[in-house]
């Protein structure tokens, strides 16, 4: 690895010495073809490889405005699995805070995104819960009140 003038850089010398010691002899993949050589050239090969290695979806590369828009569209499915109004309000509140931050400091393409109305989401959530709940008899609110435990021992 000497140049035409007989000079060997420090890095070239370290590589040559490592080769002579056999440091590169037992590397994984030795003798195997490089992956992807048979595929056509793709200028974004490194992005696709990173996404595959890290298990990240391509959606993570989208601009904030589009991600927020998609999150608003998926909100009915997101809140559907929640059990209380407090949880629904928290999820919608967090989303609205991120939307407000984006509106204050926009980045990426200008895709209109507006805060979500909590009351509308709650109305749809309640209707969905009512439709999902089978009618199993009287609800706890209409059932007769339970006797207090200390009244059981009362004489009279």
Residues 120-131: tens digit of each pLDDT: 999 999 999 888
The torsion angles phi and psi of 117, rounded to 5 degrees, stand at -85, 115
Average pLDDT value for the chain? 85
* Residue, of 2 and 47, whose pLDDT is higher: 47
DSSP 149: G
The per-residue pLDDT for range 52-94, each reduced to its tens digit, is 899 988 888 899 999 999 999 999 999 998 999 999 999 999 9
- Look at the block and give the residue holding tokens 């984006």: 102
Percent pLDDT > 90 in the chain is 49
Percent pLDDT > 70 in the chain is 83
C-alpha to C-alpha distances, 22 to 14, 45, 47, nearest whole angstrom:
12, 31, 33
Query: Helix or strand or coil: residue 133?
Result: coil
The dihedral over CA atoms of 92, 94, 97, 102, expressed in degrees to the nearest 10, equals: -100
State the Cα–Cα distance between residues 67 and 31, nearest whole angstrom: 43
What is the mean pLDDT of the segment spanning 110-138? Answer: 86
- Which residues contact residue 102 at a Cβ distance below 8 angstroms, ignoring those fewer than 6 apart? 64, 65, 68, 113
In terms of pTM, does the model score above 0.95?
Answer: no
State the Cα–Cα distance between residues 46 and 144, nearest whole angstrom: 66
């Amino acid at each position: 690895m000497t140049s035409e003038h007989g000079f060997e850089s420090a890095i070239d010398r370290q590589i040559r010495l490592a080769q002579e010691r056999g440091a590169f002899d037992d590397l994984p993949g030795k003798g195997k073809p490089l992956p992807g050589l048979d595929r056509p050239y793709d200028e974004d090969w490194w992005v696709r490889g990173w996404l595959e290695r890290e298990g990240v979806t391509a959606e993570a590369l989208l601009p904030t405005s589009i991600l927020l828009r998609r999150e608003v569209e998926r909100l009915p499915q997101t809140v559907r699995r929640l059990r209380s109004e407090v949880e629904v309000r928290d999820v919608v509140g967090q989303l609205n805070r991120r939307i407000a931050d984006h509106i204050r400091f926009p980045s990426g393409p200008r895709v209109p995104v507006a805060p979500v109305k909590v009351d509308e989401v709650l109305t749809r959530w309640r209707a969905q819960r009512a439709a999902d709940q089978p009618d199993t008899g009287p609800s706890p609110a209409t059932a007769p009140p339970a006797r207090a435990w200390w009244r059981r021992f009362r004489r009279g």
